Structure 1
Amino acid sequence: MSDTLTDSVALVTGASSGIGEATALGLAAQGATVALLARRRDRLDDLSARIEADGGRALVVQADVSDQRQALDAVESVVAQAGRLDVVVNNAGLMRIGPAADADLSDWDEMVSVNVSGLLYVTRASLPHLISAAADSPRGVADLVNISSTAGRSVQPGAAVYALTKFGIGAFSEAIRQEVLGQRVRVSLVEPGTVQTEITDHLPEPDRERLARRNGAMVPLAPADIADAVTFIVTRHRRVAVNEILVRAAEQTW
């Protein structure tokens, strides 16, 4: 383990699998106390046990970020238990794809609720604590990292609303960055390409087949590849702000 983030507290949403799980492990390895937030309590308990078995520290916070009250209470619970909040990684997200003319509106509602509203709720609750932490942190800085997607800069047919949510995250991140940079809070955007995660598991079979055809023989990224990007961002000296990282699979063209 490293001590780069010793005495820091990091909150990771969507921590029960994939990029969130890998990011939590990466931040814990840097010495942070990691608050694990997601809906699946059993997964969070397992991850917490793994972190602590490796000598790290973890808190489990079961919550649905798309529920405003749950999101706000989750952030306050982390601060109440850990005493501060230095790093927030907004990773929770989901994807539904298909032609807009045939879309189930509940799929659109769910994407907007999780990908946009959830990120907004967690960010709003976290910002005052990040500002406070930056003022007295040995690192001299606090970090907000929003996980977006290549869909936030490249639009594909069938992914209209998914892209809408990811483009929105980019705009929101840049506005917040400008608002809080004078208070030593860095805001960063990470845009992963195709990653081997559970995000496509809940898609109908025809949609999964369509994605498989598009990806072809491309070797997808691993969640740890994105976790590496997050860890790089938050371990820079306070003079350095890495505002955006685009990470594609090596063969990816979009």
Structure 2
Amino acid sequence: MTQELAGRVAVITGASSGMGRATALALASRGAKVALMARRQAALEEVAKEIRWGGGEALVIVADVTDQMSTDAAALAVQREYGNADLVFNNAGLMLPGAMGTQPISEWERQIDLNVTGAMRVIQSFLPQLEAAAAEGRTVDLINTSSITAQNIFGYFAAYSASKAFVSHLSRHLRVELGPKNIRVAVLEPGITSTELQGHVTFQGARDWLAEAAKSIDFLKPEDIAETVRFLVSLPKHVNLQQVVIMPTKEAM
């Protein structure tokens, strides 16, 4: 362990797997106290166990980011245990490609509920803590996970892409509101990354595309995203790297 993030209190949504899990491990290994948020308690407990085994501190919070009462309760739990959060990795998300008009309504509703409304609920619940931490003179970060699909066009990813475009544009607006309060806002827009998201894909056209892409592209790993987050939050307090596109070297778009 190093201690470059000692004293920081990090909240990570979607922490049970993928980019959230990898980022929790990376931040904890550098001294941050980490609050792990997701719906799957057993998976969260495994992440917390690994963090504690390495000498770090972790708090398990079972929460559903599409439920405001749940995210509000999570914020209270963090405050009781660690004090005000000064780092939020707003990362929970869902990707379900499909053809508009034939895709089940429930699938695009779930993506909007999680990727859009869920992201907003997390911000609503934790912003008072971020503002309080900034007022105390601490380094404060809000990092939202978007996607390269927020910029580029991919067939059958309309609902997912639109939801991530919301996250990217929301982040730009938050910079205007929160930057003067000394709160850094960043948005990550990764390309293809090996996470559980791909396992949720049922639309055959997208499954075929992903399988074909895997033959020629070395997909990003969750640890690549985690290292990027670590870099962002370790910058001097007056530096805000606000939009980061992270792509596999061989992925053209």
Instruction: Report the TM-score when normalising by structure 2.
Output: 0.97
Which residue does 1:151 correspond to in 2? 149
1:135 and 2:112 aligned: no
Q: CA deviation at 1:216?
A: 3.7
Deviation at 1:218, TM superposition (A): 0.7
State how far apart, in whole Å, the 2-side matches of 1:26 and 1:188 are. 18
Match of 1:184 in 2: 182
Q: CA deviation at 1:205?
A: 6.4
Amino acid at match of 1:195: T
Give the length in aligned residue pairs: 252
Per the alignment, residue 94 of structure 1 pairs with: 94
1:127 to partner: Cα distance: 1.0
Equivalent position of 1:219 in the other structure = 218
CA distance 1:253–1:215, shift in 2 (3 Å): farther
What is the match of residue 68 of structure 1? Answer: 68
Identical positions, percent: 37
Q: What is the Cα deviation at residue 161 of structure 1?
A: 0.5
Quick one: distance in 1 between partners of 2:51 and 2:194? 22
Contact (CA 8 Å) 1:194, 1:220: kept in 2 or not?
Answer: yes
Cα pair 1:91 1:146 within 8 Å, conserved: yes
Question: What is aligned with 1:244?
Answer: 243
Task: Write out aligned runs for 1:24-173 (5 A).
Answer: 24-137=24-137, 140-173=138-171
User: What TM-score results when the alignment is normalised by the length of structure 1?
Assistant: 0.96
- Taking only aligned residues, the RMSD between alpha carbons, in angstroms, comes to 1.2
Aligned residues of 1:7 and 1:31 also touching (Cα < 8 A): yes
* Secondary structure of the structure 1 residue equivalent to 2:26: helix
Q: Which amino acid aligns with 2:21?
A: E
Provide, for residues 132-190 of structure 1, a one-character-per-residue CA deviation record: whole Å limited to 9, x for no partner. Answer: 112224xx320000011101111211000100001000111111111011111000001
**AA matched with 2:47:** L
CA distance in structure 2 between the partners assigned to 1:147 and 1:228 by the alignment: 14
Look up the SS of the partner of 1:194 in the other structure: coil
Matches within 5 A, 1:224-239: 224-239=223-238
Q: Which amino acid aligns with 2:210?
A: L
Runs of 4+ displaced beyond 2 Å: 213-216
One-letter code aligned to 2:144: N
